[in-house]
């Protein structure tokens, strides 16, 4: 994500690294919403995304392998960010 001429551009790729990070962080929070609001929203705002454009999350079911070392949750999140 970067700012260009006072406007922000968002290129989001849900990568393995992102999934690993969020999976590890989720262990410290009671919900995906809490994790997102406390760790991701401040970074998005700092990068120039208006808070009104951050609309929330989609929580969906996932089925990681039982022996997965970094993601042991049965749900994951996708942020909803819509440029106003």
Q: Where are the domains of the chain?
A: 2-81
What is the spatial distance between Cα 57 and Cα 11, in angstroms, rounded to a whole number? 17
What is the spatial distance between Cα 4 and Cα 32, in angstroms, rounded to a whole number? 30
Write the burial class of residue 37 (CB in 10 Å: 0-12 exposed, 13-18 middle, 19+ buried): middle
pLDDT at position 3, please?
A: 42
Tens place of pLDDT for every residue, the chain, 84 residues? Answer: 444 444 444 455 455 567 778 888 999 999 999 999 999 999 889 989 999 999 999 999 999 999 988 888 999 998 888 888
pLDDT at position 8, please?
A: 47
Q: Give the pTM.
A: 0.76
């Amino acid at each position: 994500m970067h700012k260009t001429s006072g406007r922000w551009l968002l290129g989001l790729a849900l990568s393995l690294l992102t999934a690993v990070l969020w999976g590890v962080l989720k262990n410290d929070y009671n919900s995906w919403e809490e994790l997102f609001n406390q760790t991701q929203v401040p970074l998005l705002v700092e990068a120039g995304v208006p808070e009104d454009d951050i609309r929330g999350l989609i929580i969906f079911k996932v089925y990681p392998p039982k022996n997965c070392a970094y993601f042991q949750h049965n749900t994951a999140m996708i942020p909803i960010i819509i440029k106003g």
